[in-house]
Amino acid sequence: MAELRGDFARHTSSEFNDELEALCADLLKMGGLAERQLRLAIECQSEFDSSLVDQIKEAENSVNAWEIKIDETVASVIARRQPTASDLRLILVISKVVRDLERAGDEASKVAEMAQKSAESEKPSAVGHSEVRTIGDQVLKMLGDSLTAFARMDADMALDVARNDKEVDQIYQSALRALSTVMIEDPHQIGNVLNVMWVLRALERVGDHATNIAEHVIYLVKGTDIRHLSVANVEEAVMNAPDVDER
């Protein structure tokens, strides 16, 4: 799990400050659980083990419970503390990020379901395993990095996550092309290949969620909303903007 850097300590009310720190710490705990869910799901793909499925289910339940708990805390902190400016921005971002974490966890569960399906199939196959491993490792790293970028409010690290997402998209697209060829050359593999394609799709979505989190970090640090910009435009926007704290 990403470590929380000490610079949330910028508030006049120390109690409020404690609450904000606790909220960020909760978000990172939830993130750690979503990461765990994903790591186990990827493991499941290379070596299926039904005990892993139980652990994933458990992590999923915790992630879901955290989503609701953090949303409630967000509402309660806003109602009691009436935050403005950067505190409010931080709290609203937390409320968006929980959604992305929950979604990333959901995709991880789908990956695990597919692993189960494939383990139970009559014709198990190793087709696509290397693609799953490559993309799986990449998006797992992206998710971890997006959380670390959040914990450290590190816009450069967040920008790297957005860059990695472009790479993952390219690997994903070329994996899909290669897998279509396998299908055409060996129609007996169609069922297995479809399975792998859904897994890759779910993993690619995790990369999107990590990128959303990273975009929120950039917004918090730079004050620039970079959603819906291309990576090149994002880089320009980020390079040219001073940090919010330095204005």
Residues that bind its own copies in the complex, under the rule CB under 8 A:
64, 67-68, 71, 74-75, 78-79, 82-85, 88-89, 92, 95-96, 99, 180, 183-184, 187, 190-191, 194, 197, 201, 225, 227-228
With both helix axes pointing from N to C terminus, report the angle between 231-240 and 155-185 in degrees, rounded to the nearest 10. 170
Least Å distance, CB 3 to its own copies, is 28
Least Å distance, CB 125 to its own copies, is 15
Nearest to 95 by CA among 122, 71, 62: 71
DSSP per position, 94-136: HHHHHHHHHHHHHHHHHHHHHHHHHHHSSS---TTHHHHHHHH
Question: Which CB, 5 or 29, lies closer to its own copies?
Answer: 29
Question: Which CB, 5 or 89, lies closer to its own copies?
Answer: 89
With both helix axes pointing from N to C terminus, report the angle between 190-222 and 231-240 in degrees, rounded to the nearest 10. 20
Question: Which CB, 9 or 190, lies closer to its own copies?
Answer: 190
CA distances from 112 to 15, 47, 152 (A): 42, 11, 31
Question: Which CB, 46 or 75, lies closer to its own copies?
Answer: 75
Least Å distance, CB 25 to its own copies, is 21
Question: Which CB, 85 or 126, lies closer to its own copies?
Answer: 85
Question: Which CB, 9 or 68, lies closer to its own copies?
Answer: 68
Nearest to 115 by CA among 60, 23, 48: 48
Least Å distance, CB 191 to its own copies, is 7
Least Å distance, CB 120 to its own copies, is 16
The residues, any chain, with a CB within 8 Å of residue 49's CB and separated by 6 or more, are 43
In a 10 Å sphere around its CB, with 0-12 CB exposed, 13-18 middle and 19+ buried, how is residue 235 labelled? Answer: middle
Least Å distance, CB 131 to its own copies, is 16
In a 10 Å sphere around its CB, with 0-12 CB exposed, 13-18 middle and 19+ buried, how is residue 21 labelled? Answer: middle
CA distances from 102 to 154, 155, 174, 243 (A): 22, 23, 28, 29
Q: Please, are residues 11 and 39 in contact by the beta-carbon 8 Å criterion?
A: no
Least Å distance, CB 99 to its own copies, is 7
